[in-house]
Structures are given as C-alpha cells and as structure tokens.
Chain A
Amino acid sequence: MSTSVPETGATAAQSAERRAVRTRWLLVSPAVVIIGCVGILPLSIILLYSLLEPAEYAGVVWTFSPEAWMGLVLERDIFDDTLGLSSAHLTIYTRSILQALFTTVLTLIFGFPTAYFIATRPAKERNIWLFLVTIPFWTNLLIRTFAIMLIVRDEGLVNHALINIGLIEKPLAILYTDVAVAIGLVYAYLPFMVLPLYASMEKLDFRLVEAGYDLYANRRRVLRRVIVPLVKPGVIAGCILVFIPSIGAYVTPRLLGGGKNMMLGNLIANQFGTSRNWPLGSAMALALMGLVMIALVIYVRNVTAAGQKSHG
C-alpha cells in the first residue's frame, strides 16, 4: 500500500482522490451492470427484432424486413396483397391515446382539489390524509382493478343499487366497455396524480396567496393567477405520471375491457402471444417508448422553464 517515497500533502490528496474514485465505481457497478444488461440491452434487441421477419411459431427469422414498422399503421389485403391503412390498429391507437388523455384530465380535476385540501390541513391531519392516499398508490393494481370489476359487473353493486331504487329495470352493461376501462384507469391512477401535486403544494408559500388577496384578487383569480402557476411543476409531473402508465396500460383494459376494447399494451402483448408476430410487437413497443420519451422531454422542458421563471 504505502510507497517508500515519503508522501507529501499534495500526493496524499491525489491518492485519496484516486481511492475515492475507485471505490465509487466499484459501488455503482453492480447496479449499472444489472440494469444495463437486463434493462437496457433488451431494448436494443427488440430494435433489432423489429427489423426482422416473424418466425412461424414465435420468435424471428434472421432476414431483414421493414414489414414490421410498416405494419404499425398499414396492413396487407389478404386477397390482392395491396397495402391499406390498418383500421384495427388505428382504432386501438386512438382508443389508447384518448383513454390516456381522458384519465389524465379526470384525475387532474379530482386530484388538484384533493391535493390542495391535504396541503392546507394542519400537520397531523395532513399525515393521515397522505397515508390514506399513499396506500392505494402502493397496493396491487390487479386487486384494485378486480375490486372495480365487482362494482361495475352486471350483478355488481352499481347495477344492484340502480335497480333497487327503480331507476333501471335491466342491468346496465358497463363491464367490458370503454366506460369500464375509463373508470378503472381513473381509479387506478388517481393517487399518481395526487402525490406529486401534493409535493409541490406543500411547498407553496401562502404569503403569496395573501398578497394576491391583498391586491384585490377574488378566490377564483387567486387560484388561477397565483396558485396554479406556482404549482405548475407538480401539475406537469402528475400528468406525466398518469399519462405514461395509462397509455401503456395492460391489466385494466384486460380485466375491464375484455377482448373488444383492447389498448396498446394488450395489442403489444398479443404480438408476443397468440398473434406470434414478434417483429411487429417490437416495433409497436418501440413506438410506444418513443411516445413516452416525447412526453418526458416536454416535461423536462416545462419544469426547467418553470424553475427558471420562479428563480428569475
């Protein structure tokens, strides 16, 4: 370890720095290697797969083909082999985007007042509320979706109640419709909206709100001109946190939508299952990831812009 040459302060500083750097990389390497190999490398493999031909029974044939990427929106006519827009795929894409947007907007409408209400409670009460919102955040999505299923079924609680009070005679078919999926998504991702919103509202300086009222703004104007701009980073974070998982949702549409109301997540999974078209599934997965990346870039841009504004 120690050299025969007497160390000075400067060389000691250098060797201490070297040791620190070595330790640092030694410590991060397991995490980086595991995620790098099993998290990131597979993404490049599906990129490769998306450029190949599907094998007859799952997997790929190692010949190049742009077919998968074309297959995202196009389909070959079975009879004359001409290319046309694939209405089945386009319907699913549109449904996924609309469902995700709807979920984002609705969770924001419910989540914003909730987060604000929690943030303005006294500390002790606030912790209880926070705890109550955090629990569904971490509990199993499958089970929570199953619980919704119990409620919206033909024999479920909603129909039961409606029939009992005489509002309807035959049960409403809610389960296995887009409505059921929408309800399920909003229910599933509501905590994902409330928590980031709360995080930014907790930091809200209420002297600014007081200043707003002092300068003759009424409640609505204080909300619109003071509170909303100040918590904008939280709003954007919440929207991203809801939009990303809901556009790729798999469990909720599978349980509540049935086969007819598939979303992008189910379509992708199907290519690796019954449809046995891995290249197409890979291309779709990458397209979805691209969409998510765009959303993330918008988020980062907005947050840094908002940050600069509030500092400047």
Chain B
Amino acid sequence: MSPDGKASQSGSAAVEAQRVTKIFGGGDDQVVALDDVSVQIGENEFFTLLGPSGCGKTTLLRLIAGFEHPTDGRILLGGEDISPLPPFQRPVNTVFQNYALFPHMTVGGNIGFGLEMLNKSKQEVDDAVTEMLRLVRMEELRNRRTSQLSGGQQQRVALARALAPKPRVLLLDEPLSALDLKLRKEMQIELKRLQNETGITFVFVTHDQEEALTMSDRIAVMKEGAILQIGAPRDIYDHPSDRFVAHFIGETNFLEAELLERKNGAAKVKFPSGAVLPASLPDAPISPGKVSVVVRPEHSRIATTKKDAVLSGTLENVVYFGTDTHFHFRLNDGAQFIVRMQNARDSGDDFTPGQELGIAVEADAVQVLRD
C-alpha cells in the first residue's frame, strides 16, 4: 500500500471536484456551504471527509450523489462531468446516516432494489442479493422486515443495498454515528474489509477524528466550506499544516517560536528559552520570523538532564489515564503545555505539582503552522 498522495499524480481520478461552490438560499440569508473546493479521489481509495458539523462535508457528498447541484464548478466521475445528471443516472450509491431502509420491503427487497431499477433480470437480482447477503454475513435474514433488525444489522443491510449495484463510488454519510462504541469498532473493521474485498472507492464522511485516522487511506480536513489539508492519516497527525487541523485532530501544544534563516535545506526554529530545534514546514510558503509551532504531548517528555530541557515551567497538575499520564505545565512565558508519558511498570509518582521542571522535545516533533 502506498497511502500517500496516490491520486494526485495519476491521470483519471475516480471522483473529482473541480472548483465547486455551493450556495444555499438567496438574498440576505444565503449560506456558502462550499467555497471553491477542489479534490481528487483515486480508484480503490478509502477517502475520508473530516470536519465539524456545518463544514460542508455532507454537502460535498450530496453533490457527488446528485441530491444537490453545484452553484459553480464541476463534479467528475472517472473523468466525465456528471454535474447535470440526476441521482438515478449516476453510478454512485450512498449509505445514509439513518440507513433509509424501505420499511415496506424485506431485507432482500431492499438489497435488490437498485438492480431491479436497473432492469436486471430476476435471476440476476436474486443472485446479487444472495452474494451481498453472504458478503455482509446475513444470509439467514433475507426475508425479514427491516423493522425487525438491530442497529448493526440495519447498517449491514444498508451497506449491502448500496454495494449490490456495484457502484463506481460508494458514499458513506456518517454511517456509524448511530451505533454504540463496541459495534462501531466492529463496523470500522468490517467496512475496511468490504472495501478491500470489493475494490470500490469509498468516500466516507465523519466528524470523528479517531474513526478517520483508523480507516482512511487519505483524509481531507474541512472547515467552513473549505478543505484545509489533504493527506494520509499519519501525515495529517504528525504534520498538521494549520492551527485548526492541529487542534481538531488529537491533542496539541501550541507554542510561539522564531523560524531561523534556512541553511542548506533543514529548517530550524528558536524557542524563547534559546533552544534551537529542527522543524517541519507546511506546504505553504513561509518566511523567517515569528511563527506558531505545534508539539504533540506524546512527542515530549520531562527532561532528565539540564541539556535536554528545551522548555521549562511549573508542573501544575498530574492526570493519570491508565496507559499514560498527562503532566500539565505552566511554562515560564505563561503558555500551557501538556506532556504525555507512558506508564512503565517502574515509574513512580516522582513528580508533584509545584515543581520546576525542564521539558524535552523529540527531534522532528516540531511542526511549523501556516498562519
């Protein structure tokens, strides 16, 4: 697997949004749901649109499905413009957030509906339904009414129904949000398996960063109708290019530092304490001077020697989490900083609030932000 930037180089993306803008309403109360968004999603990719509610991720999904039409821009499917097509002419299927299973049909009736509408023969429909039921491991529930199913079962039927017509792209609109935690974990693995087995491109919408990190090949982080960053989960987590992305995904420490003049490639930042560390730069061009940087809590530790200490501050609070412990610091310049350290068997409660301590930061852990 090469998770990184797979589609951006290849010529034909499975789905592509070109400079798409979507405005709802008119006059004084118009809402810009998507603002000049472009994105390419590759064949066989598990692509996630991640963001808080109202960021435009669902709108983008509905534009691809055809339930909304773009105000401006184009939606391409395999290189062809599908913007003018109604939903029922697009080889794209959706798994709805509330599943939207037809209550007046059986499980089999639901799964076969799409193929029936494509005027396939009865035999073909039957075979496909059987195959799909096997795929989601529900063979024995074929003639059940959908109202008699549990949440997890309904979820599987919704998946099978959307996969049965073998769409070019499967769209999933927060399909796991109605499930409890345990079932959600199971379904995450299940979804990943289905994607591998069917080889269909999945476009997945969620506001749950953990879900996005676990399942995706690539993630697009969205905010207020714009895509802030696209990248593989690791990339997004370790090298957020934007304050919002860093904040939205995982826990982060924000610090002020000075970006030094670049000498032979590697960028370096200087902290108020005087310490100089190598740093990663965002995609955007950035000039030397005052910058904001982020350091993940688990990429730092309490310094054991004076030499390691890049930062220093007063320990204010110690929060025990089982697998690890969080140390809340007030740095000497007034900023807050959290250090996360794994709990080894022999680590005692060596540190007590009120102590003055040094903080060490791993090499390559400093990420400069765009703003």
> Is B296 among interface residues, defined by CB-CB distance under 8 A?
no
Contact B74 A9 (CB under 8 A): yes
For B74, the closest partner residue in chain A by CB is A9
> Is B297 among interface residues, defined by CB-CB distance under 8 A?
no
**Residue numbers in A under 8 Å from B83 (CB-CB):** 7-9, 12
Chain A 1-38 interface mask (CB, 8 Å, partner B; 1/0): 00000111111110010000000000000000000000
**Residue numbers in A under 8 Å from B304 (CB-CB):** none
Contact B71 A13 (CB under 8 A): yes
Looking at the assembled complex, report how far the CB atom of A301 sits from the nearest CB atom of chain B, in whole angstroms: 27
Contact B86 A13 (CB under 8 A): no
Instruction: Report which residue of B71, B72, B83, B86 has the largest number of chain A beta carbons within 10 angstroms of its beta carbon.
Output: B83
> Is B128 among interface residues, defined by CB-CB distance under 8 A?
no
Selected from B84, B85, B86, the residue in CB contact (under 8 A) with A11 is B84
Contact B71 A8 (CB under 8 A): no
**Residue numbers in B under 8 Å from A16 (CB-CB):** 69, 86
> Is B73 among interface residues, defined by CB-CB distance under 8 A?
yes
**Residue numbers in B under 8 Å from A11 (CB-CB):** 84
For A16, the closest partner residue in chain B by CB is B69
Contact A9 B70 (CB under 8 A): yes
Contact B86 A10 (CB under 8 A): no
> Is B159 among interface residues, defined by CB-CB distance under 8 A?
no
Looking at the assembled complex, report how far the CB atom of A11 sits from the nearest CB atom of chain B, in whole angstroms: 7
> Is B33 among interface residues, defined by CB-CB distance under 8 A?
no
**Residue numbers in A under 8 Å from B86 (CB-CB):** 16
A side interface size, CB within 8 A: 9
Binding site secondary structure of chain A: helix
Looking at the assembled complex, report how far the CB atom of B26 sits from the nearest CB atom of chain A, in whole angstroms: 11
For A17, the closest partner residue in chain B by CB is B69
> Is B129 among interface residues, defined by CB-CB distance under 8 A?
no
CA distance A11 to B81 in the complex (A): 13
CA distance A189 to B245 in the complex (A): 64
CA distance A297 to B55 in the complex (A): 43
**Residue numbers in A under 8 Å from B70 (CB-CB):** 9-10, 13
> Is B75 among interface residues, defined by CB-CB distance under 8 A?
yes
For window 73-94 of B, CB contacts with A under 8 Å fall at 73-75, 81, 83-86
For window 19-73 of B, CB contacts with A under 8 Å fall at 63, 68-73
For B71, the closest partner residue in chain A by CB is A10
CA distance A243 to B57 in the complex (A): 53
**Residue numbers in B under 8 Å from A9 (CB-CB):** 63, 69-75, 83-84
Looking at the assembled complex, report how far the CB atom of A13 sits from the nearest CB atom of chain B, in whole angstroms: 3
**Residue numbers in A under 8 Å from B74 (CB-CB):** 8-9
Chain B 143-185 interface mask (CB, 8 Å, partner A; 1/0): 0000000000000000000000000000000000000000000
Selected from B72, B73, B84, the residue in CB contact (under 8 A) with A12 is B84
Instruction: Report which residue of B83, B84, B85 has the largest number of chain A beta carbons within 10 angstroms of its beta carbon.
Output: B84
For A8, the closest partner residue in chain B by CB is B83
CA distance A13 to B86 in the complex (A): 10
CA distance A167 to B191 in the complex (A): 84
**Residue numbers in A under 8 Å from B63 (CB-CB):** 9
Looking at the assembled complex, report how far the CB atom of A206 sits from the nearest CB atom of chain B, in whole angstroms: 29
**Residue numbers in A under 8 Å from B71 (CB-CB):** 9-10, 13
**Residue numbers in A under 8 Å from B68 (CB-CB):** 13
Looking at the assembled complex, report how far the CB atom of B345 sits from the nearest CB atom of chain A, in whole angstroms: 51
Looking at the assembled complex, report how far the CB atom of B315 sits from the nearest CB atom of chain A, in whole angstroms: 45
Looking at the assembled complex, report how far the CB atom of B65 sits from the nearest CB atom of chain A, in whole angstroms: 13
**Residue numbers in A under 8 Å from B81 (CB-CB):** 6, 8
CA distance A192 to B361 in the complex (A): 76
**Residue numbers in B under 8 Å from A6 (CB-CB):** 81, 84
For B68, the closest partner residue in chain A by CB is A13
**Residue numbers in B under 8 Å from A10 (CB-CB):** 69-72
Looking at the assembled complex, report how far the CB atom of B282 sits from the nearest CB atom of chain A, in whole angstroms: 32
Looking at the assembled complex, report how far the CB atom of B74 sits from the nearest CB atom of chain A, in whole angstroms: 6
Looking at the assembled complex, report how far the CB atom of A166 sits from the nearest CB atom of chain B, in whole angstroms: 63
Looking at the assembled complex, report how far the CB atom of B22 sits from the nearest CB atom of chain A, in whole angstroms: 9
For A7, the closest partner residue in chain B by CB is B84
Chain A 222-249 interface mask (CB, 8 Å, partner B; 1/0): 0000000000000000000000000000
For window 107-162 of B, CB contacts with A under 8 Å fall at none
CA distance A10 to B83 in the complex (A): 8
CA distance A12 to B74 in the complex (A): 11
Looking at the assembled complex, report how far the CB atom of A22 sits from the nearest CB atom of chain B, in whole angstroms: 16
CA distance A6 to B84 in the complex (A): 9
**Residue numbers in B under 8 Å from A7 (CB-CB):** 83-84
Instruction: Report which residue of B68, B69, B70, B73 has the largest number of chain A beta carbons within 10 angstroms of its beta carbon.
Output: B69
Looking at the assembled complex, report how far the CB atom of A15 sits from the nearest CB atom of chain B, in whole angstroms: 9
CA distance A10 to B63 in the complex (A): 11
Looking at the assembled complex, report how far the CB atom of A218 sits from the nearest CB atom of chain B, in whole angstroms: 45
CA distance A6 to B71 in the complex (A): 16
For B70, the closest partner residue in chain A by CB is A9
The 4 closest A-B pairs by CB, nearest first: A13-B69, A9-B83, A7-B84, A9-B70
Can you name 22 A-B residue pairings with CB atoms under 8 Å? A6-B81, A6-B84, A7-B83, A7-B84, A8-B74, A8-B81, A9-B71, A9-B72, A9-B74, A9-B75, A10-B69, A10-B70, A10-B71, A10-B72, A12-B69, A12-B84, A12-B85, A13-B68, A13-B70, A13-B71, A16-B69, A16-B86
Residues of B within 8 A of A (CB): 63, 68-75, 81, 83-86
Having A9-B75, A10-B70, A10-B71, one finds 15 other A-B pairs with CB under 8 Å, namely: A6-B84, A7-B83, A7-B84, A8-B74, A8-B84, A9-B71, A9-B72, A9-B73, A9-B84, A10-B72, A11-B84, A12-B84, A13-B68, A16-B69, A16-B86
